[in-house]
C-alpha cells in the first residue's frame, strides 16, 4: 500500500503541472519484502518500470541486480557504478551496435528468442550466456501479453542447441506470465509448460541452470492481490517442485517494486455534462494518456484516486479524461470513476500507485504539453 508519508507529501507539495512524487524508502521496503518471499532468487529490477536514478542507486546499494531493455538504460546503470556482472540485457530485439556496446563493458547475459538474435549476440558478444525467451499462453494476468516476445515452445530447445553451436553458453529459459498477475496460483499452468521444456533440454544434454521467471508481480489498484511475502513463498514452492538444477533463479520485478512508491499529483481542469440528462459527469485532468497515464489504455490499469479536501464528500460516477485535444485521451469511460459530487476546477487529484510506467511513458511535447515532472520526497 502507499505510505502515509507519500500521501501527505502529495497533498501539500507545490507543483506547476502534473508531477510524480516518489518515495524511495517504499522501494526499499518493497525490495526487502520481495526478497523475503523469494530468498533464492536473484532480483533483476526491470529498469523500464522507472529508471529514476534515485531508485536505481538505492536498489544497487541493497544488492539488487538489474535488467535493461536498451543501451540507454545500460549507460545509465553504468554511470551509477552498477557492476556490469549485475546487469542482464533482457530485450530480445537488440541493435548489433548496442550488443557490442554492452559486451564492451563486460555485460555477458543476453536474452534471445530467434536464430537471428543469437547470431547477432554470437558475433558482437561472443561466448556470452544466453537465455531463450518462450512464448507462453495467456494467463489470468490483468494485462496479458501479446505474442510479440518469445519463441513457440517447440523452438526453445533447438534454439538452445543453436546457441551452443554458435559458441554461446545456453544458460536457460525465460518467460513472462503477463503484467499484474495478482495471485501466485495463476503461474501454475505456465510453469508446467516451461518445466517440460526445461526437462527436455536437460535430457538432451543442455545443462540449463538459469531460470528467469520474468516479472508480472502485481501492485495494488483496488482489486485484491496476494501479499508479497506469501506470494513469493507460494511461487518459490511452485518452482522448486517443478524444476531441477536451477542455480540462477532470476526474477525481474518492475511494477512490484516501484508501483506503490509513486503518486501523480494532478489538477481538475473542467467538469461538464454533454447533455443535460447525462448522469455521469466528464472530468478533465491536467494529466492524461499522453503525459504519463498510458497504462489506462483499454482501461487495463485502474488507478485509485484521492481528491484532496473532498475525502468525506458523497461521490458520483465520472468519465475521466486528459487535457489534450486528442479524442483518444480518455482514461476511464467504460469503468466510470466515483468522484466527489462537488468536484471543481482547480481541485487537486492524487493518482495512487503511479510509480511504475508513468514518467518515461510521457510524450515529449504532444499538444504542446511538457512531460510529467518527477520529484523524490
Q: Segment 252-311, which members bind a second copy (CB under 8 A)? A: 267, 269-276, 282, 284, 286, 290, 297
Output the smallest distance, CB 40 to a second copy, in A. Answer: 25
Q: Which is nearer to a second copy, 80 or 269 (CB)?
A: 269
- Map the footprint of a second copy across residues 46-65, applying CB under 8 A: 46-48, 51
Half-sphere exposure of 54 (CA within 13 A, CB side): 16
Output the smallest distance, CB 130 to a second copy, in A. Answer: 14
Q: Which is nearer to a second copy, 36 or 274 (CB)?
A: 274
| Residue 36 binds a second copy, judged by CB under 8 A | no
| Residue 370 binds a second copy, judged by CB under 8 A | yes
Q: Which is nearer to a second copy, 312 or 325 (CB)?
A: 325
| Residue 66 binds a second copy, judged by CB under 8 A | no
Output the smallest distance, CB 207 to a second copy, in A. Answer: 25
Cα-Cα-Cα-Cα dihedral sign, residues 27, 33, 39, 41: negative
- Supply the Cα-derived Rg of the chain in whole angstroms: 22
Q: Which is nearer to a second copy, 23 or 295 (CB)?
A: 295
- Provide the grid cell at 294: 498510458
Cβ neighbour number for residue 286 with a 10 Å cutoff = 18
Output the smallest distance, CB 75 to a second copy, in A. Answer: 8
| Residue 154 binds a second copy, judged by CB under 8 A | yes
Q: Which is nearer to a second copy, 2 or 70 (CB)?
A: 70
The set of residues, in sequence order, having a beta carbon less than 8 Å from that of 301 and lying 6+ positions away, is 142, 143, 180, 221, 295
Output the smallest distance, CB 259 to a second copy, in A. Answer: 16
Helix (H, G, I), strand (E, B) or coil at 34: helix
| Residue 203 binds a second copy, judged by CB under 8 A | no
Q: Which is nearer to a second copy, 229 or 342 (CB)?
A: 342
Q: Residue 179 and residue 149: Cα distance in Å, rounded? A: 14
| Residue 212 binds a second copy, judged by CB under 8 A | no
- Map the footprint of a second copy across residues 107-146, applying CB under 8 A: 113-117, 120, 135, 145-146
Q: Which is nearer to a second copy, 241 or 272 (CB)?
A: 272
| Residue 327 binds a second copy, judged by CB under 8 A | yes
| Residue 12 binds a second copy, judged by CB under 8 A | no
Q: What is the β-pairing status of strands 210-212 and 169-174?
A: parallel
Kindly write out the interface string for residues 71-100 of this chain, putting x where it contacts a second copy by CB under 8 A and - elsewhere: xxxx-x-------------xxxxxxx----
Helix (H, G, I), strand (E, B) or coil at 281: strand
Q: Which is nearer to a second copy, 151 or 318 (CB)?
A: 151
Q: Residue 113 and residue 342: Cα distance in Å, rounded? A: 53
Q: Residue 13 and residue 199: Cα distance in Å, rounded? A: 54
Q: Residue 371 and residue 199: Cα distance in Å, rounded? A: 48
The set of residues, in sequence order, having a beta carbon less than 8 Å from that of 332 and lying 6+ positions away, is 296, 299, 302, 319, 320
Q: Residue 97 and residue 217: Cα distance in Å, rounded? A: 32
| Residue 371 binds a second copy, judged by CB under 8 A | yes
User: Dihedral (C-alpha) 216, 220, 224, 226: value to the nearest 10 degrees?
Assistant: 50
Output the smallest distance, CB 71 to a second copy, in A. Answer: 7
Amino acid at each position: 500500500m502507499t505510505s502515509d508519508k507519500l500521501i501527505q507529501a502529495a497533498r501539500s507539495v507545490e507543483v506547476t503541472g502534473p508531477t510524480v512524487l516518489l518515495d524511495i524508502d517504499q522501494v526499499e521496503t518493497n525490495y526487502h519484502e520481495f526478497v523475503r518471499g523469494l530468498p533464492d532468487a536473484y532480483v533483476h529490477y526491470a529498469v523500464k518500470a522507472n529508471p529514476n536514478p534515485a531508485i536505481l542507486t538505492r536498489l544497487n546499494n541493497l544488492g539488487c541486480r538489474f535488467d535493461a531493455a536498451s543501451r540507454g538504460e545500460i549507460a545509465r546503470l553504468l554511470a551509477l557504478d552498477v557492476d556490469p556482472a549485475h546487469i542482464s540485457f533482457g530485450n530480445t530485439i537488440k541493435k548489433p551496435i548496442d550488443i557490442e556496446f554492452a559486451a564492451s563493458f563486460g555485460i555477458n547475459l543476453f536474452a534471445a528468442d530467434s536464430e537471428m538474435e543469437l547470431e547477432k549476440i554470437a558475433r558482437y558478444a561472443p561466448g556470452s550466456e544466453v537465455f531463450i525467451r518462450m512464448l507462453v499462453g495467456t494467463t489470468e494476468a490483468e494485462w496479458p501479453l501479446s505474442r510479440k516476445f518469445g519463441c513457440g515452445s517447440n523452438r526453445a530447445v533447438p534454439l538452445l542447441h543453436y546457441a551452443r553451436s554458435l559458441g554461446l553458453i545456453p544458460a536457460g529459459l525465460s518467460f513472462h506470465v503477463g503484467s499484474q498477475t495478482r495471485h501466485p496460483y495463476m503461474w501454475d499452468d505456465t510453469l508446467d509448460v516451461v518445466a517440460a521444456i526445461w526437462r527436455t533440454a536437460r535430457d538432451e544434454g543442455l545443462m540449463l541452470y538459469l531460470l528467469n521467471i520474468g516479472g508480472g508481480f502485481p501492485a495494488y489498484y483496488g482489486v485484491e492481490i496476494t501479499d508479497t511475502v506469501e506470494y513469493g513463498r507460494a511461487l518459490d514452492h511452485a518452482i522448486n517442485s517443478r524444476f531441477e538444477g536451477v542455480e540462477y533463479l532470476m526474477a525481474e520485478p518492475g511494477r512490484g517494486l516501484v508501483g506503490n512508491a509513486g503518486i501523480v499529483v494532478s489538477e481538475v481542469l473542467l467538469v461538464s455534462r454533454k447533455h443535460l440528462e447525462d448522469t455521469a459527469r466528464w472530468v478533465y485532468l491536467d494529466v492524461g494518456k499522453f503525459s504519463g497515464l498510458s497504462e489506462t489504455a483499454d482501461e487495463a490499469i485502474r488507478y485509485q484516486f484521492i481528491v484532496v479536501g473532498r475525502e468525506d464528500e458523497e461521490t458520483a460516477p465520472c468519465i475521466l479524461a486528459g487535457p489534450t485535444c486528442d479524442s483518444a485521451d480518455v482514461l476511464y469511460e467504460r469503468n466510470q470513476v466515483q468522484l466527489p459530487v462537488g468536484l471543481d476546477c482547480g481541485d487537486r487529484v492524487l493518482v495512487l500507485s503511479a510509480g511504475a510506467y508513468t514518467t518515461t511513458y510521457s510524450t515529449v511535447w504532444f499538444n504542446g504539453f511538457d512531460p510529467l515532472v518527477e520529484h523524490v520526497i
